[in-house]
């Protein structure tokens, strides 16, 4: 697989870029904690991909546990700090709806992919990679026609293998692979 600037990288947020809070949501900037090495990984990936886009379900908004303003503050923090560290995030899309609403925006549905393509018409889903840590991330990627990368440090269940093209322990391992695919 030869990746160049014509490719787009889609990243999930919680569990991929920042630490997930078990049984809860990252409700505000005080609860946001970067995963180790993520800044350097995104910087490296920024050298390879033409666009880097975050797509994230944030149903805590729909539950009234956090506001759009709090989510946007976190997202501005992500974009600003990644830029300070030499990387880039071109856009962040989030779905605030409850899972029970079955919104087109919420992953595994691909509404956020369509929003990204609308904002960046050059995006080709067949030249895109979705990196995530849940099966809904993998379903999102597959429905849109993307290559899927699962971030996990556990053995994959056999039934998930048709959704997952590649898997790595973390984004850093994926970044190394993308820069040296033959090694």
Which of 4, 12, 22, 90 is flagged as catalytic? 12
12 has catalytic annotation: yes
Asked if the structure places residue 57 within a domain, the reply is yes
Asked if the structure places residue 119 within a domain, the reply is yes
> Where residue 16 sits, what CATH number does that domain have?
3.40.50.1000
- How many domains, in total, are found in the chain? 1
Q: So what's the pLDDT on residue 182?
A: 64
At 53, give phi and psi (nearest 5°). Answer: -130, 135
Asked if the structure places residue 75 within a domain, the reply is yes
Q: What is the pLDDT of residues 2-35, one digit of tens each?
A: 899 999 999 999 999 999 998 899 999 999 999 9
Asked if the structure places residue 41 within a domain, the reply is yes
3-state secondary structure of 144: helix
Residue count of the chain, please give it: 183
Asked if the structure places residue 2 within a domain, the reply is no
Question: Do the Cβ atoms of 82 and 89 come closer than 8 Å?
Answer: yes
Which of 4, 14, 133, 137 is flagged as catalytic? 14
Asked if the structure places residue 97 within a domain, the reply is yes
Question: Residues near 180 by Cβ (< 8 Å), separated by ≥ 6?
Answer: none
Question: Residues near 124 by Cβ (< 8 Å), separated by ≥ 6?
Answer: 6, 8
The parent domain of residue 97 ranges over 8-179
Q: What is the pLDDT of residues 86-121, one digit of tens each?
A: 999 999 999 999 999 989 999 999 999 999 999 999
Q: What pTM was computed for the model? A: 0.95
Q: How far is CA 153 from CA 35, 85, 173, in A?
A: 14, 26, 11
Asked if the structure places residue 3 within a domain, the reply is no
């Amino acid at each position: 697989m030869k990746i160049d600037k014509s490719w787009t990288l889609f990243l999930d947020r919680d569990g991929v870029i920042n630490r997930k809070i078990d049984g809860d949501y990252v409700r505000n900037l005080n609860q946001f904690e970067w995963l180790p090495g993520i800044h350097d990984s995104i910087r490296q990936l920024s050298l390879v991909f033409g666009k880097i886009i975050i797509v994230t379900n944030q149903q805590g908004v729909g539950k009234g546990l956090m506001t759009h303003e709090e989510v946007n503050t976190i997202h501005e923090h992500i974009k600003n700090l990644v830029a300070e560290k030499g990387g880039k995030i071109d856009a962040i899309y989030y779905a605030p709806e409850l899972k029970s609403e079955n919104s087109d925006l919420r992953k595994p549905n691909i509404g956020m992919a369509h929003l990204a393509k609308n904002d960046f018409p050059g995006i080709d889903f067949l030249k895109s990679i979705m990196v995530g840590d849940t099966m809904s991330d993998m379903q999102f990627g597959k429905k849109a026609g993307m290559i899927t990368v699962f971030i996990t440090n556990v053995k994959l269940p056999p039934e998930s293998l048709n959704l997952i093209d590649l898997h790595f322990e973390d984004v850093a391992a994926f970044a190394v692979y993308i820069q040296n695919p033959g090694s």
